[in-house]
Structure 1
Amino acid sequence: MAAKRSFDEDLDKAQAVDIDVKQAASDGVELYRPEVDTSGIDERKLLRKVDLWVVPWLSLLYLLNFLDRGTVGNAKLYGLEDNIGITDNQYLIALTVFFFPYALFEPASNVLLRKLRPSIWLSLMIFFWGVVTTLHGVVKNYAGLICVRVFLGLTEAGMYPGIVFYISSWYKRTELGTRVAFFFSSATVAGAFSGLLAAGIHNMDGIGGLEGWRWIFILEGLFTVLVGVASFWMVQDFPETAKFLSDTERVFIIRRLQDDMKLSAAGEKYKTKYIWQSLKDWKTWVAMGIYMGFDGPLFAFSLFLPTILNQLGYTSTTANLLSVPVYAWGCLVTCVIGFLGDRIGHRAYINLVLFGTGLIGYIILVASKTPALSYFAVFLASSAIYPTIRDAWVAGNCEGVYKRGVTLAMAIGFGNINGAVTSNIYRSKDKPWYPMGHGIVLAYIAIGWICSLLFFILLKRENAKRDNGERDEVIEGVDNKNADPKNGTYATVLEARIDKGDEWSGFRYTL
């Protein structure tokens, strides 16, 4: 595949001259810290070490993130609305206000994550959202609920795009899917665990004079606070400064990333132009459509699955417990798809099939008037919503740490803001079949399918133009008949790569 060509092959085409491999390396990619000998490094063993240090703790953090965010759906079944005296519409508004600070702060958060250390920025977010989750358990009225939901959105903002950006700073593009899938599968575990946990903690009803749903928030929030404190030591920083690696291992990790067209792996100084590169890139805007088709359904599914099952005739506890197999299935499919995405590539085709499965699931939900059939359809929905490939696909096609961070944050942030819409579509007056809610989610999935197809077509077209030399830059002293000043004029290929990132003529997009 073109995307897997070595850098030397890309360099040969870009320069159209006959130079030896050593000269290509020195002209194209300055070997990171050439004085360090990494020949003794066992790559497979080192990757296992990175996996153990990076992925499991991040998975725990996202599990808590999703658990704390969605607990309000479980609490609703146990009397939250009646106890604090709010209407169904007020409950929906409380869900809605979460998304505005949550989405709007994400781009700035990713910039801060790069400028500061992940061990500091991520840990602070975890600690403070744990505090806010705990405060959910003491709210007395509608104003209090609105307040804690706004602050939960603010403190959780940046966690998901930050983790995706952080993981993309450690692995090659062909390795991202499996790791992101493993970490994201914790969302399905959170969904399953949330139902079990809520059913168990509800038995504390009356202890300390508090309702059972309050204890759900208090205990989950206090645990999150403890994890936030531990994260100051458990969250590792970027490869160039990670403490769990030896100096030689850090050099090896950065070199292998640079060989995968991630020249910025050793770090880059912040420049405003990197932000503008993201804003002007069509990939950012099409990716926003993909995330819209994913996040809108995701929030609707996670916030309302217990309610949907409850209204199909199941009791509150049974509805929470019936959600467990649905999430467990979603977890399994997410891990399998992540593995396949890295092994066979063709992320676009996988994405189109997954979105297509979601379309079938929600068509059934719209048409069904049978509880058993609707329950089967939510398994199809889970098969589509959670495994959908987007993070590895988008992150792998953006070069430059700041550009990648902003592109991911904008796409994820726009996707998340749609949660403000889908948190209002399952209205009590539409129960038990919720045709409007299911119909809107169906439309969201259709948008995701269309944008995935567009992303694939445009990436493939751009790769073809680069193969034909239409994007070749003018490199001083190099005779290249395809070189065009409109693509930029540079002293060396290295200078072109640094300045243009994934827009460099030798960069090939993964499909």
Structure 2
Amino acid sequence: MPEYDPQEQQLVRRLDGRLVPIVTGLYLCYVVNRSTQFHTGADIPISLPTTPHTYILSQIGYALASVSVAAPSTLLFRKYGPARWFAGMVGGWGLVSACSAAVRDVSGWIVTRVLVGVLQAGFLPGLMVYIVSFYTREEWATRLSWIVSSATVAVSFFGIFADWGTRFDGVHGLQTWRWMCVSDGLLSIALAVVTYLLLPNYPETCTFLTPADRVLAIARSHDTDRTEGSGAHESDDEGGSPRRQSVSLQKPKPPRIRIDVGQITEALTDLRNWLFAVGFFGVSVAGDVLVSVGATVTATAFGMGDGDETTRHVRIVAALPHLVGGIVAFLCAWNSDRTGDRALHTTIPLLISSAGFALISIIPSSLGPLRYFIGLVPASAGLIAAFPCLLSYALDKAQGESSRAIVAALTFSFGQAFSLPLASSGSSLLDPAQPALAPGISACLVAFAAFCVLVIRWLYRREEAQMWNKGPGLRRLLNDADEGKAWDVELSHGDIFADEGKKKGKKGRRGSGGGGRDRVGSEWDLKEYAEKEAFGF
């Protein structure tokens, strides 16, 4: 757990007060749009008209469009400014969602779903990469738990709004599902305007911070992916030499973002990143199954019948496990940041959730509340609690901004895209004749996700053991690298150190390049030290 001095504590509070509410609202718009698809899935095939299989086809079109554009969208969002990028995405799919209320045939509905898939492609990966760029690794899981848990708990009560919306059925000739699409679109457009006006793009351009706070914000987030040659932030020095960009204490300037092909290739060829994607796919499918079967399990567990008032009671009781999950998620994420462990804080909640799904599948509905308390509650709470730690674990191991963007796109895109057609109304997974099928498959998927996380943990530990055995020189390098790079950050991120840096640069050794680049700071010395001491040349 990080220990803050008063200045850093004040900075973190300012960042939390500006970033967390806006990012939570953005994620809420995303989840509300997905929930709209679940709650309108039974009405759209009847209204258009079309068949349930055709409706599933539109969701597959959404998934394919989303996966195909996820990686480019995630790579480009920081290059062109997160505020404009997120505002354009959210406002774009809000406009398409509102216009989808006017479609009259299935072809028009498929076109709108494909457009929404393109616009939502890199949203969740980009949102996660954006939020971690302002915080240290010891703060990631806690902030993600605030964002994910708040939006998840809020949207768990979305069914109550959907039931209330049935009162507008037929008003101005529009069915309930059309009114829901319009409401979803207007909410997204309104938040897009707020995002464009208030969301900061980079730590370097946070105008609500003082110059000293901006320097500290950059230094806090300045880890190994923002070092020379990593393809991250660059400046326009003569001769094209990539040097760290200094922070102007007078006028905030945005950094230059370069896409590193080497980092992309390394991320795509790493087996661990694909295991993250497979694990998150299982978590996403199970989460969408919860939305579909939660109300049914609650109604059968407490013997609730039909009727508007009873339906609202069912929605409220079905949402309570999500509230429990939000509280558990915050505690789990806080302890994960405190201890630095991600794997076990992900695996244990996933195993609890898998056991809950299995109990929902096994326990008959005749046993009443037992199916709810020892089945639905642990299934929901464990799944929501594992979500922030899983996201933090995937992003924590990525080195470099381009690598982190690709890892986020791989991890989130497949699960979030293809879970919709699998868990939507009309899919074979939600066959009413086999009510135990969906919870049983979800239990297997969540258990396999936990297995993937344990395999990833073993792979990382094996790699660390191999690096540790390279020799005493490399061990000393690993021990001293963080201290040296932290000192290098302090020298390179403030104009007040510019003169001192130039004096040291004149005394430094000349590089091998024709431009005569100075070897200043600890990074070059550490690399040369590693080559001589650890590898014997």
TM-score range, shorter-chain basis? 0.7 to 0.9
Match of 2:8?
43
Which of 159, 174, 181 is the matching residue for 2:123?
159
Given that 2:430 and 2:438 are in contact with CA atoms closer than 8 Å, whether structure 1 keeps it comes out as no
Q: Which of residues 284, 292, 301 in structure 2 aligns to 1:295?
A: 284
List aligned pairs for 1:52-451, cutoff 5 A. Answer: 52-76=17-41, 79-258=43-222, 263=227, 269-303=258-292, 305-306=294-295, 314-315=305-306, 317-318=311-312, 319-370=314-365, 372-376=369-373, 377-388=375-386, 389-419=389-419, 422-423=422-423, 427=428, 430-431=431-432, 434-451=435-452
- Cα distance change on mapping 1:52 and 1:373 into 2, 3 Å: same
Paired residue secondary structure (1:115): coil
- Contact conserved, 1:196 with 1:324, CA < 8 A, in 2? no
Distance in 2 of aligned mates of 1:311 and 1:137: 33
Deviation at 1:116, TM superposition (A): 1.0
**What residue in structure 1 maps to residue 462 of structure 2?**
461
- What is the rounded CA distance, in whole Å, between the counterparts of 1:154 and 1:349 in structure 2? 35
Change beyond 3 A, Cα 1:402–1:472: farther
User: In the alignment, is the contact (CA less than 8 A) between 1:92 and 1:423 conserved in 2?
Assistant: no
- Once residues 54 and 152 of structure 1 are traced to their aligned partners in structure 2, the CA distance between those partners, rounded to angstroms, is 25
With 318-327 and 425-434 compared, the bigger mean Cα shift is at: 425-434
Question: Match for 2:412: what amino acid?
Answer: I
Partner of 2:499: none
Encode CA deviations 1:454-501: one digit per residue, 9 max, x unaligned. Answer: 1111112222233333697799xxxxxxxxxxxxx9988625999xxx
CA distance in 2, matches of 1:355, 1:160: 21
Asked if 1 retains the 8 angstrom alpha-carbon contact of 2:157 and 2:315, the reply is no
Unaligned runs of 5+ in 1: 5-38, 476-488, 499-504, 507-511
- Residue by residue, what CA displacement relative to the aligned partner does 1:271-324 show, whole Å, maximum 9, x if unpaired? 322211211233322222322232221233335544665788654734444432
Q: Is the 8 A contact 1:202 1:212 kept in 2?
A: yes
Comparing 47-56 with 394-403, greater Cα deviation is found at 394-403
- TM-score scaled by structure 2? 0.76
Counterpart of 1:356, as a letter, is L
The amino acid that maps onto 1:65 is Y
Give the Cα separation in 2 of the matches to 1:497 and 1:140: 66
Contact 1:74/1:306, CA 8 A, preserved across alignment: no
Distance 1:375 1:324 in 2: 12
Quote the Cα distance in structure 1 between the aligned partners of 2:457 and 2:349.
15
CA distance in 2 between counterparts of 1:372 and 1:159 reads 38
Counterparts of 1:147 and 1:311, CA distance in 2: 38
Amino acid at match of 2:92: F
> TM-score, normalised on structure 1?
0.79
Q: Deviations over 1:345-383 (max 9, x none)?
A: 322112111111111111112212215344332222211
Q: Percent identity?
A: 24
| Equivalent runs, 1:6-21 vs 2, <5 Å | none
1:483 aligned residue: none
Instruction: Name the counterpart of 2:523.
Output: 494
CA contact (8 A) 1:262 1:399 kept: no
User: 2:205 is paired with a residue of what secondary structure?
Assistant: coil
Q: Measured at CA, do residues 448 and 400 of structure 1 come closer, stay the same or move farther in structure 2, by a change above 3 Å? A: same
Moved more, 456-465 or 371-380: 371-380
Alpha-carbon contact 2:56-2:421 (below 8 Å) kept: no
Deviates further, 399-408 or 257-266: 257-266
The higher radius of gyration belongs to: 2
1-side partners of 2:446 and 2:525: how far apart?
38
Q: Give the secondary structure class of the aligned counterpart of 1:258.
A: coil
Structure 1 position 132, deviation (Å): 1.7
Moved more, 153-162 or 280-289: 280-289
Letter of the 2:320 counterpart: P
- Opposite residue 212 of structure 1, the aligned amino acid is T
Q: Residue 113 of structure 1: CA displacement? A: 1.0
Task: Report the aligned-residue RMSD.
Answer: 3.4
1:301 to 1:105, Cα distance in 2 relative to 1, 3 A: farther
CA distance in 2: counterparts of 1:86 and 1:226, whole angstroms:
32
Q: Take 2:318 and 2:61, find their aligned partners in 1: how far apart are those partners?
A: 25
Assess if the C-alpha contact under 8 Å between 1:293 and 1:449 holds in 2.
Answer: no
Cα distance in 1 for residues equivalent to 2:90 and 2:266: 30
Q: What are the superposed Cα offsets for residues 411-470 of structure 1, whole Å, 9 maximum, x if unpaired?
A: 212323441563268549832652222222222112201111011111122222333336
Separation (CA, whole Å) in 1 of partners of 2:399 and 2:356: 36
Q: How many angstroms does 1:177 deviate by?
A: 0.5
* Counterparts in 2 of 1:81 and 1:372: CA distance versus 1, 3 Å: farther
Contact 1:100/1:417 (CA < 8 Å) preserved in 2? yes
Q: CA deviation at 1:67?
A: 0.5
Q: Distance in 2 between matches of 1:54 and 1:101?
A: 29
**Aligned partners of 1:337, 1:66: CA distance in 2, in Å?**
22
Distance 2:343 2:16 in 1: 26
Corresponding residue pairs, total: 452
Distance 1:453 1:116 in 2: 37
Structure 2: gaps spanning 5 or more residues: 234-244, 246-254, 477-511, 514-518, 528-532
Residue type of the partner of 2:362? A
The 2-side partners of 1:333 and 1:402 are apart by: 32
**Higher RCO structure, 1 or 2 (CA under 8 Å, sep 6+):** 1
Q: Name the aligned partner's letter for residue 463 of structure 2.
A: E
Give the Cα–Cα distance (whole angstroms) in 1 for the partners of residues 526 and 435 of structure 2.
52
SS of the aligned residue for 2:202 comes to coil
Three-state SS of the structure 2 residue aligned to 1:399 is coil
